[in-house]
Structure 1
Amino acid sequence: MPYQLAALAAATSWALSSLVAAGPVREIGGPRFTRLRMIVVSVVLAAITSVAGTWGTLRPRDLALVAASGILGLLIGDAALFTAMARMGPRRTSIAFSTNAPMAAVLGVLVFDERFTARSLVGAVAVVAGVVLAIAFGSAPDDDHAFEGVEGRLAVGVAWALLGALGQAGGAVLAKPALDAGADTIAVAATRAVIATVGLWLFARPLDRVARPARSVPLTLRHLAILVVSGLLAMVIGMTLLLYALGHGDVGVATILSSTSPVLLLPLLWLVTGRRPVAGAWAGALLAVAGIALLV
């Protein structure tokens, strides 16, 4: 599979996952949602890796970087992302979180001496600009749907999303050396997930205190079902596809293509809410698609 296609498939998985998770995240809180979901993700990925017998593809010297990748990308990145979503909904979270693309691109250049061609640079700028335009004008100003509500100060929600973006970008860069050395994609994903899960539960109380969810309701079977679906879509499928893309291509290009999930989220929100995004949203989507064409 071309790494560009894998990155786009990851974006699709994340768009679906954020739509599924938006309601429960606000009901039970971002950090709590993250640590419960990571249990499901860890069990599934560890089981797949054990059946495939690919734990041995990870070199001992790569374990420290993979562990750091899990802490930065999942413990910090995911907890911050869902805290932001609980505060300002999936659409606004997506626009702030999409900054992980340029963050990863810059880190890829600084750490791995990657180079963008002029064509790739134009495509990258177009994708990022399209994502921002699509989300900034993704709904009418008077849209009062639950997905558009803001709990607390908007600036706090944006700050959480930016922290999540930085965490994911840094986590992606830290995982690349192991993938380049031939480590199995799912084995890397499983290792990151297990380490992040342990960390999330060790620091559960401090994370809850810092995140300060607006409300928290008792956990129900519905919440658990959505946790499973969201985890499978975002982490088992989406993150594995992204790690595959990172292991077979440039960090910057792969991460930028995977950042198109906010654009893909627009038609999904239209289907769910019955409210058509405004013209600026579609203009941004077309710009992002044009950028993708240049990158691919």
Structure 2
Amino acid sequence: MGIGFGVITAIGQALGSLCARPAMAAGVEPFTAMAVRAGFAAIIFLAATLLPIAALRDRSPVAPKTHLLAWGSAFFGTGLGMSLLMAALASGNVGIVSTLSSMTPVVILPMVWLRTGVAPPKTAWLGAIIAVCGTALISL
């Protein structure tokens, strides 16, 4: 299920970048474009909660530290990060901007290790190294 949602998210990210470029070139404010993208994503996630599989989710109380991490992620990742992405799409090469923005999961890999205390498998590190090298080659 996680892989399925990951694929759906990746497709949504790609389509969002392709649709954002013409809007940003037309002069839409980056924060407004980010808000529209995030709003659409929120609608999709809310619709996903209606799926029967959503009934299987954990309903235990959430720790305050987890709430803080979620709010921080929402501010920096969605608010600041997507606003900067939209600003970059307004004037940058859409291929380079999209490639660099797709590096987020690779950069997060060490943070996941620090947060969970569980080292990602060697294949994840190998994939991260290949992704960084590929992005470097594309950017050059």
TM-score by length of 2: 0.73
Unaligned runs of 5+ in 1: 1-155
2:128 aligned residue (285, 288, 294): 285
Closer/same/farther in 2, CA of residues 291 and 192 from structure 1, 3 Å limit: closer
- 1:180 pairs with 2:21: no
Following superposition, the deviation at residue 181 of structure 1 comes to 1.4
Q: SS in structure 2 opposite 1:209?
A: coil
TM-score by length of 1: 0.39
Closer/same/farther in 2, CA of residues 289 and 158 from structure 1, 3 Å limit: closer
Following superposition, the deviation at residue 180 of structure 1 comes to 0.7
Q: Rg larger in 1 or in 2?
A: 1
Moved more, 218-227 or 173-182: 218-227
Following superposition, the deviation at residue 236 of structure 1 comes to 0.8
Distance in 2 of aligned mates of 1:214 and 1:247:
39
1:227 aligned residue (59, 65, 70): 70
1:205-220 mapped onto 2 (5 Å cutoff): 207-210=48-51, 211-212=53-54, 213-218=56-61
1:139-158 mapped onto 2 (5 Å cutoff): 156-158=1-3
Indicate the residue corresponding to 1:165 in structure 2. 10
Q: SS in structure 2 opposite 1:179?
A: helix
Query: Could you give the per-residue CA deviations for residues 183-202 of structure 1, whole angstroms, max 9, x where no partner exists?
Result: 221122134445665x46xx
Distance in 2 of aligned mates of 1:159 and 1:165:
10
Distance in 2 of aligned mates of 1:288 and 1:195:
28
Query: Percent identity among equivalent residues?
Result: 35
Moved more, 278-287 or 166-175: 278-287
Following superposition, the deviation at residue 163 of structure 1 comes to 1.5
1:254 aligned residue (97, 112, 127): 97
Unaligned runs of 5+ in 2: none
Distance in 1 of aligned mates of 2:107 and 2:41:
28
Amino acid at match of 1:239: M
Distance in 2 of aligned mates of 1:286 and 1:256:
15
Amino acid at match of 2:50: R
Query: Could you give the per-residue CA deviations for residues 241-278 of structure 1, whole angstroms, max 9, x where no partner exists?
Result: 22223222333332222222232223223333444445
1:1-296 mapped onto 2 (5 Å cutoff): 156-194=1-39, 199=43, 204=46, 207-210=48-51, 211-212=53-54, 213-218=56-61, 221-277=64-120, 279-296=122-139
Q: SS in structure 2 opposite 1:217?
A: coil
- Greater relative contact order (CA < 8 Å, ≥ 6 in sequence): 1
Distance in 2 of aligned mates of 1:196 and 1:286:
29
Distance in 2 of aligned mates of 1:220 and 1:269:
18
Give runs of ≥4 in structure 1 deviating > 6 Å.
none
Amino acid at match of 1:169: A
CA RMSD of aligned residues (A): 2.9
Amino acid at match of 1:288: A
Amino acid at match of 2:17: A
Closer/same/farther in 2, CA of residues 176 and 220 from structure 1, 3 Å limit: same
Q: Would you say how many aligned residue pairs link Structure 1 and Structure 2? A: 137
Following superposition, the deviation at residue 173 of structure 1 comes to 1.6
